[in-house]
């Protein structure tokens, strides 16, 4: 009897070990066992965790998501209408507010520019020493050596030996940077009956948050039907985070068990999106480290599975980049471009460091569309990319 129990326990342990190998990807850190204890919570904390009402949760959001089911009586198909777009006056106020957030978000970068230029202008005439110092300033601001050299060469062509002021330097740089950025400042487009967007990027850049913010805007502002797919199947936290965003945005989520094939998630979400008349499908992916080819292979598999359904899929492959990584973002673009057909960029966390110049470097080196930039955690802190607004904010100038 004892022998039988031991044998049964051994078989159960072997089965558990086999399951762990499937669920937990090799190289991932071990999951620490939970520690149970009685937490000391205040009455307010207990209310927030266990008793907070749906109304209170919604009040915490910048914008109220569109609910899936309204409280009023159901309407027939002909009566159903998409949510109204924002009035022009409200859009104007939103634009003004975004410019303020953009300027504030780039304050670390612009302060570095402003102080550096102030230190440069110790004499009135532009000479080679001043140009060399200007080039060094641009490099330290993460514009990169190639882009910095190009800007300085253009800047000095008609001004060498002439009187120069701090304001003139900033205005000239803003114009030059705008010229680099304008060709890549393109808004996201959704030109298909069902637009399929694959979102990729390394760990920690904000892919899931970016998907959630864009989905919220498309649902509440544009009235589009959006669906999300949880393609990061290795981390339960990633699926849970996307589920929270899907609830905020009021859109359905397709997910599978932890350890499932990400390509299967992509396939099932596409089939479901077609059946339900969805306008836009966002497929999240795991945080693939760009220097691990075996992990990147999964992205290629997702693309292959989608193309079996429709050769044009996915319609867009967005690469999300974290501005705080500086020039490392350049290497990420190179690697992802080799693995999948990256069609556009979204740059987040521009408020986190003085490395806003990386956006200029990316535009100059790759020429990929930059659809959106983010300067904070709130829903409204991710907006379409505007070349002139960004350039002037970067060098510390007000909007022209």
| Cα gap 118→29, rounded to integer Å | 48
Residue 42's Cβ-count burial label (10 Å; 0-12, 13-18, 19+) is exposed
How far apart are the C-alpha atoms of 118 and 114, rounded to whole Å? Answer: 6
The whole-model pTM stands at: 0.74
- In the numeric block, the tokens 């989520």 are attached to 253
Question: What pLDDT tens digit does each residue of the chain (400 aa) get?
Answer: 444 444 555 556 665 565 454 444 454 444 444 334 344 445 555 555 445 555 454 444 444 444 444 333 344 433 333 444 444 444 444 555 655 666 666 767 777 777 888 887 766 688 898 899 999 999 988 999 999 999 999 999 888 888 888 889 999 999 999 999 999 999 999 999 999 999 999 888 989 999 999 999 999 889 999 999 999 988 888 899 999 999 999 999 999 999 899 999 999 999 999 999 999 999 999 876 655 676 778 888 999 999 999 999 999 999 999 999 989 999 999 988 888 899 999 999 988 777 889 999 999 999 999 999 998 888 888 999 999 999 998 888 876 5
């Amino acid at each position: 009897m004892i022998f039988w129990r031991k044998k049964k326990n051994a078989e159960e342990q072997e089965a558990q070990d086999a399951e762990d190998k499937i669920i937990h990807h090799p190289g991932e850190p071990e999951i620490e066992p939970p520690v149970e204890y009685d937490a000391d919570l205040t009455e307010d904390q207990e209310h927030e965790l266990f008793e907070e009402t749906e109304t209170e949760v919604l009040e915490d959001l910048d914008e109220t998501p569109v609910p899936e089911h309204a409280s009023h009586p159901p309407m027939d198909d002909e009566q159903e209408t998409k949510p109204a777009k924002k009035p022009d006056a409200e859009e104007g106020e939103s634009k003004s507010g975004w410019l303020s957030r953009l300027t504030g978000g780039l304050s670390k970068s612009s302060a570095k520019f402003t102080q550096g230029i102030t230190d440069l202008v110790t004499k009135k005439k532009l000479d080679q020493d001043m140009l060399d110092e200007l080039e060094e300033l641009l490099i330290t601001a993460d514009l990169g050596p190639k882009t910095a050299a190009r800007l300085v060469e253009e800047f000095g062509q008609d001004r060498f030996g002439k009187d120069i002021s701090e304001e003139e330097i900033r205005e000239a740089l803003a114009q030059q940077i705008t010229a680099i950025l304008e060709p890549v400042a393109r808004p996201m487009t959704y030109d298909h009956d069902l637009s399929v967007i694959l979102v990729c990027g390394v760990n920690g850049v904000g892919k899931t948050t970016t998907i959630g913010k864009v989905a919220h805007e498309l649902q509440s502002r544009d009235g589009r039907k959006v669906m999300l797919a949880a393609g990061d199947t290795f981390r339960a936290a990633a699926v849970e985070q996307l589920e929270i965003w899907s609830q905020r945005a009021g859109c359905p989520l397709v997910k599978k068990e932890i350890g499932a094939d990400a390509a299967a998630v992509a396939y099932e979400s596409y089939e479901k999106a077609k059946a339900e008349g969805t306008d836009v499908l966002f497929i999240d992916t795991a945080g693939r480290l760009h220097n691990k080819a075996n992990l990147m292979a999964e992205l290629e598999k997702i693309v292959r599975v989608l193309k079996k359904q429709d050769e044009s899929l996915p319609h867009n492959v967005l690469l999300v980049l974290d501005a705080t990584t500086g020039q490392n973002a350049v290497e990420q673009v190179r690697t992802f471009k080799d693995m999948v057909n990256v069609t556009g960029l979204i740059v987040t966390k521009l408020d986190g460091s003085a490395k806003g110049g990386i956006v200029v470097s990316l535009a100059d080196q790759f020429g990929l569309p930059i659809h959106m930039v983010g300067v904070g955690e709130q829903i409204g802190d991710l907006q379409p990319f505007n070349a002139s607004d960004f350039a002037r904010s970067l060098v510390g100038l007000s909007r022209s």
